[in-house]
Structure 1
Amino acid sequence: MTNQFLWVIFPYVCMAVFVVGHIFRYRHDQFGWTAKSSEFIEKKQLMIGSLLFHVGIIPVILGHISGLGIPKEWTRALGVSDHMYHMGAVWGGGFFGVVTFAGMLILTSRRFTKRNVRKLSSTSDLIVNTLLLFIVFIGVYASLVTNNVTPGFDYRDSISVWFRSLLIFRPEAGYMAAVPMTFKLHILAGFLIFAMWPFTRLVHVWSVPLNYAGRSYILYRRSPVKKHKQ
């Protein structure tokens, strides 16, 4: 019963909240569909942390998509051996994970330790930063440590198959039974952040600057021009 809740019910609930929550937020809170910038308070740490985070997170996301979505047989057919794939996933993914973690650590430290930045932060901002930091940390640990101290474990034979079973609505919780705890924590925390996403400033990642080119919520009023008598 616990397995069914953790690996079937909980993921589906989180994704349903993710979708419905975004629709609700967009319809009822378009004014809040952005991130409150704290750049004017502190710029140096923000710039370094953001750069490291974004440089690392894009390859990490692509790695998760390929690792979870592409069956082992497909990569073999392309001439990529299991050992080659494993080395690339562990060390390549581990490297970009460390870069992401360094950026997230700087951003989280900045939000908690810079007094004015913290004043600008909401409770949800602090929770999201902390949760993201944990997700990245436990993911890096699982990749670099758990993978190397758990002989015979291959996430593509368990986690990936389970994940794809969710996508086709034929969930198989049994695949997660023997998965190491670090991977389980990484996955559960990941789904939790998806459930929280619509109700935090994370929604701003769906916005691009072009969206605001023709739409502004700031109203400007022209100063009245005084007429001078000739």
Structure 2
Amino acid sequence: MIDQFLWVILPYLCIAIFIVGHIWRYKIDQFGWTAKSSEFIEKKYLMIGSILFHFSVIPVFFGHVVGLLVPARWLEGIGVTNHLYHLGALYVGGFFGIVMLIGMFLLTLRRVTNKSVRRLSSASDILVNFLLVFITFMGVYATLVTNNIVVDFDYRQTISIWLRGLFVFSPDANLMTDVPLAFKIHVITGFLIFALWPATRLVHAWSLPFLYFNRSYIVYRKHKS
């Protein structure tokens, strides 16, 4: 019963909240569809952390897409053997995962240690920061540690097949039974962040700045007292 809840009911519940929540948020809060800027309060940690996070989040995202949604036999069909894939996941995925973790750690440290930034932050901002740090840490730990300890485990034969089953409405919870704990925690917290997404500043990820390079400059003048 617990397995059915964790690997069938909970994922669909989080996906439903993600979709319906975004529609609701857009209808009632279009002016809040952004992230509050705190650049004028503190720049150093913001710049370093933001660059590291945004530099790594895209390859991490596409790494998950390839590893979870593309069947192993498809990759083998184009010459990417199981050994070659795992080398890429370990070294390339591990590298970008560590960079992302450092970036999120700096952004979270800035948010909780800088009094002015903390006062500007909502409870959801702080929750999302800590959750993203935890999710990233568990992903890096699972990739670099668990994969080397549980050498006979292959998430492409368990987690990937289970996840693809969700999209065709036939998830097999039994596939997750023997998955190592680190991977289970990473998956569950990943779905939880999707459920929280529409109620937090994460919605700004969908606001692509297409007009950014054509906008007029903002002129700031120092007040002379």
- Counterpart residue type for residue 51 of structure 2: L
* Counterpart in the other structure of 2:206: 206
SS in 2 for 1:185: helix
- Cα distance in structure 2, aligned partners of 1:190 and 1:73: 26
Q: Aligned pairs, how many?
A: 214
- Cα distance in structure 2, aligned partners of 1:91 and 1:97: 10
- Cα distance in structure 1, aligned partners of 2:168 and 2:43: 45
- Cα distance in structure 1, aligned partners of 2:212 and 2:202: 17
The 5 A counterparts of 1:102-181 are 102-181=102-181
* Counterpart in the other structure of 2:219: none
- Counterpart residue type for residue 130 of structure 2: T
- Cα distance in structure 1, aligned partners of 2:35 and 2:54: 16
Q: Could you tell me how far 1:199 is from its partner in structure 2? A: 0.3
- Cα distance in structure 1, aligned partners of 2:211 and 2:167: 31
- Counterpart residue type for residue 150 of structure 2: T
In the alignment, structure 1 segments of 5+ residues that lack a partner are 214-230
Indicate how the Cα distance of structure 1 residues 211 and 173 shifts in structure 2: closer, same or farther if over 3 A, else same: farther
Q: Could you tell me how far 1:151 is from its partner in structure 2? A: 1.7
Please report the TM-score for the alignment, with normalisation by the length of structure 1: 0.91
- Counterpart residue type for residue 178 of structure 1: D
The 5 A counterparts of 1:12-23 are 12-23=12-23
- Cα distance in structure 2, aligned partners of 1:36 and 1:210: 19
- Counterpart residue type for residue 202 of structure 2: L
* Counterpart in the other structure of 2:193: 193
Q: Could you tell me how far 1:211 is from its partner in structure 2? A: 6.7
- Counterpart residue type for residue 150 of structure 1: V
* Counterpart in the other structure of 1:39: 39
* Counterpart in the other structure of 2:99: 99
The 5 A counterparts of 1:58-73 are 58-73=58-73
Indicate how the Cα distance of structure 1 residues 187 and 56 shifts in structure 2: closer, same or farther if over 3 A, else same: same
- Greater Rg over alpha carbons, structure: 1
Kindly report the root-mean-square deviation, in angstroms, between the aligned alpha carbons of the 2 structures.
1.3
Please report the TM-score for the alignment, with normalisation by the length of structure 2: 0.93
- Cα distance in structure 1, aligned partners of 2:30 and 2:80: 46
- Cα distance in structure 1, aligned partners of 2:210 and 2:156: 39
Cα deviations by residue, 1:8-55 (Å, 9 ceiling, x for unpaired): 000000000000000000001111111100001001110000000011
- Cα distance in structure 1, aligned partners of 2:211 and 2:199: 20
- Counterpart residue type for residue 5 of structure 2: F
Q: Would you identify which runs of 4 or more consecutive aligned residues in structure 1 move more than 4 Å?
A: none
Q: Could you tell me how far 1:210 is from its partner in structure 2? A: 3.3
Q: Could you tell me how far 1:209 is from its partner in structure 2? A: 2.2
- Cα distance in structure 2, aligned partners of 1:8 and 1:66: 22
- Cα distance in structure 1, aligned partners of 2:26 and 2:212: 15
- Counterpart residue type for residue 41 of structure 2: I
- Cα distance in structure 2, aligned partners of 1:104 and 1:88: 23
